[in-house]
């Protein structure tokens, strides 16, 4: 018999950091623990010329880590110890080995060599929230960075400022692609001030920072308080672009600019062509609208077929779109993961840690036919695996708990749920029996009690829900026909 005791023996809930490996199906989904680092950004690269792929990770605590795909730690750098706002990897010096770039909340852009040592840093007082390396520009590799300072910088591979341009609003996103279809990479830059009228999408030459065009981006939402007594004018301005992705959506040889909208639009994305014209809006069919979710887009080339797909990580959902924005499948996992990165050389989708404090990194092998079910059955590693184990222990301890003899029986408790009898049975009562708790849909307070201490009109015993129009003998007839000899009820 289950009870809800007032007190019980102390139950200890330990959180142990363990190096775990393997999750659901070792052949399809693998995971490893970072030993306490919650990974928010992932990038794939190469540490040696023609060598095997490596995985760079930036964690919530500021740590930058490099792993083999199987989870062996190659190096670690604290990089200022502040929140990493963006992460990039590219071969800056043409030696066949990738450098790692981190835009940090402490205002620094940290550039680490292939062994994790600091090569140089570029610092500004307001944080630089984006970093984007652009290769083959005519001036070698150029690093674009910008943020709260409302300024975009073009840096050389050695960290020297080549050019800069100022904006009226903060730089929110920077991504490079073949947007004009001429084989040259341009930088798509989004500046924003978080309302419907101040989003601007711009295209720049990455080295000279000469603008190609600038267009306002109309992002809007309905105001949920419109027409109510509690109208809040700015509630309709809760918009944001959470992810920017270059992708050729129509096969014309030029990349479009994909922008994801905020959670009230269920994370839909829009595609803008090389002239700044909107050419498509993705579907939202089947996506659950949940608050504070960001649809983070990843370009995926499906192993075997070579088909291009867009994977959207939207909370605990993995949404698979075709290039035209049609949803092909929606997969639900038990945890919301912070980021995703696809490695085209190995056909692996790497997934970051759970945003609820996990420290795992997961490798989903898309060349396996069962990868969808493997994602849906993802089991955590590291800290969250230990938490799940401790929860099971705690539940078993509660189940076995017996009230000590010196403790009085628990008082009756009524839980008003607002649910039907069928819903109550399915959600609360299936296979359970509670000694002191009853679940009800609603409760009517109709019993008589002393109202002499109440002021008018609350001192009357009359119920406003009843008209009191029956004569005495008719009221008695009603009571008798409903079994009034044995129970009480209002009439």
Q: What is the pLDDT of residues 84-102, one digit of tens each?
A: 999 999 999 999 999 999 9
With a CB cutoff of 8 Å and minimum separation 6, the contacts of 317 are: 287, 288, 330, 331, 332, 333
Q: pTM (2 decimals)?
A: 0.79
Tell me which H or E stretch contains 376.
helix 371-376
Share of the chain above pLDDT 90, in %: 63
| Lowest-pLDDT choice from 158-162, 244-248, 455-459 | 455-459
Distance CA 134, CA 145 (A): 11
What pLDDT digit, counting tens, does each position of 99-116 carry? 999 999 999 999 999 999
Residue 301 has pLDDT above 70, yes or no: yes
Tell me which H or E stretch contains 383.
helix 383-400
Higher pLDDT, 341 or 81: 341
pLDDT score, position 353: 97
Tokens coding 426: 């399915």
Q: Please state whether 37 falls in left (phi above 0), alpha (psi between -120 and 50) or beta.
A: beta
The pLDDT of 4-33, averaged and rounded, is 53
φ, ψ (nearest 5 deg) of residue 157: -65, -15
The pLDDT of 365-386, averaged and rounded, is 96
Residue 24 has pLDDT above 50, yes or no: no
Residue 10 has pLDDT above 70, yes or no: no
The pLDDT of 321-350, averaged and rounded, is 96
pLDDT score, position 346: 94
Instruction: Please report which confidence band the pLDDT of residue 3 belongs to, taking 50, 70 and 90 as the band edges.
Output: very low
């Amino acid at each position: 018999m289950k009870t809800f005791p007032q007190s019980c023996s102390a139950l200890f809930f330990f959180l142990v950091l363990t190096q775990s490996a393997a999750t659901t199906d070792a052949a399809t989904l693998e995971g490893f623990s970072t030993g306490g680092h919650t990974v928010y950004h992932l990038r794939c690269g190469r540490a040696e010329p023609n060598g095997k792929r490596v995985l760079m990770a930036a964690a919530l605590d500021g740590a930058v880590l490099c792993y083999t795909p199987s989870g062996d730690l190659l190096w670690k750098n604290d990089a200022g110890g502040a929140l990493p706002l963006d992460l990039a990897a590219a071969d800056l010096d043409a030696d066949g080995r990738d450098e790692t770039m981190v835009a940090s909340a402490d205002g620094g852009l940290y550039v680490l060599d292939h062994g994790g040592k600091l090569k140089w840093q570029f610092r500004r007082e307001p944080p630089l929230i984006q970093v984007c390396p652009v290769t083959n520009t005519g001036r070698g590799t150029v690093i674009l960075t910008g943020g709260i300072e409302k300024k975009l910088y073009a840096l050389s591979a050695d960290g020297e400022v080549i050019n800069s341009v100022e904006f009226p609003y903060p730089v929110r996103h920077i991504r490079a692609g073949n947007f004009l279809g001429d084989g040259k990479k341009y930088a798509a830059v989004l500046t924003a001030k978080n309302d419907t009228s101040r989003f601007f999408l711009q295209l720049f030459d990455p080295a000279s920072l000469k603008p190609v065009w600038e267009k306002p981006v109309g992002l809007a939402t309905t105001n949920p308080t419109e027409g109510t007594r509690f109208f809040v004018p700015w509630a309709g301005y809760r918009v944001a672009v959470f992810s920017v992705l270059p992708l050729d959506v129509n096969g014309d040889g030029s990349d479009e600019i994909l922008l994801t909208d905020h959670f009230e639009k269920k994370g839909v994305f829009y595609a803008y062509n090389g002239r700044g014209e909107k050419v498509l809006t993705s579907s939202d069919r089947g996506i659950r609208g949940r608050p504070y979710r960001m649809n983070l887009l990843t370009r995926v080339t499906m192993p075997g077929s070579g088909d291009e797909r867009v994977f959207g990580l939207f909370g605990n959902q993995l949404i698979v779109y075709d290039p035209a924005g049609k949803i092909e499948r929606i997969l639900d996992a038990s945890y919301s993961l912070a980021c995703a990165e696809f490695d085209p050389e190995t056909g692996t989708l790497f997934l970051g840690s759970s945003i609820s404090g996990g420290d795992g990194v997961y490798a989903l092998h898309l060349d396996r036919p069962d990868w969808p079910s493997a994602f849906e059955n993802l089991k955590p590693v590291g800290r969250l695996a230990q938490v799940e184990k401790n929860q099971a222990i705690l539940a078993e301890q509660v189940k076995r708990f017996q009230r000590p003899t010196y403790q009085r029986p628990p008082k009756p408790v009524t839980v008003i749920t607002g649910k039907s009898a069928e819903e109550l049975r399915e959600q609360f009562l299936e296979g359970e029996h509670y000694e002191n708790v009853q679940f009800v849909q609603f409760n009517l307070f109709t019993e008589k009690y002393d109202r002499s201490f109440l002021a008018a009109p609350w001192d009357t015993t009359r119920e406003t829900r009843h008209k009191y129009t029956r004569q005495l003998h008719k009221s008695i007839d009603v009571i008798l026909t409903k079994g009034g000899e044995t129970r009480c009820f209002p009439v």
